[in-house]
Amino acid sequence: MPEAQSYQNHVRKLPMPYMVMALIVVANILWSAYRLLGGLSVDHVMAFLVAIALFIMALSARTQTLTVQNRVVRLEMRHRFHALLPADVAARACALPVPQIVSLRFASDTELPELVNEVLAGQLTDAKAIKQRVKEWQADHLRA
């Protein structure tokens, strides 16, 4: 069973296979650039362009994954807002910026209304500050 999640340990670190892939992609770019500087040829140019394309694809895949994750969290939180808050407050909470909504995701149902009111009142604006105020941390072990 995973350890209890909290503000101190909630950041998701990339698994080892992704780190190895990143190192390989960067090494490929460096090697291709070295070969390209050693002598200009069609093969060297194409190898360098493919290396850059692989880097862009890896970066794009990670960015798109995080975007989809944020959309799912936003949908989950809209549902929670409507279930736990008065209709007018829920409507205003749904319009909050995504980083604030994602930060509120970690709050328990009992403390969510108070935190939402503080965010809407402008007392809490920073995502880090919102997460630090959470007392009953709701773990999320299914993040991308």
Looking at residue 7, the DSSP 8-state letter turns out to be G
pLDDT band at 1 (very low <50, low <70, confident <90, very high): low
Residue 99 confidence (pLDDT) above 60: yes
Element holding 62 (H helix, E strand): helix 42-84
CB 92 within 8 A of CB 64: no
Q: Tell me what the pLDDT averaged over the chain comes to.
A: 91
Q: Which two tokens stand for residue 125?
A: 């604006």
76-96 confidence digits (pLDDT tens): 999 999 999 999 999 999 999
Q: Where are the domains of the chain?
A: 16-133
The reported pLDDT for the residue numbered 97 is: 95
What is the reported pTM?
0.78
pLDDT score recorded for residue 9? 65
In tens, the pLDDT along 24-71 reads: 999 999 999 999 999 999 999 999 999 999 999 999 998 999 999 999
Query: Residue 15: which pLDDT band, with cuts at 50, 70 and 90?
Result: confident
CA-to-CA distance for 135 and 85, rounded, in angstroms?
19
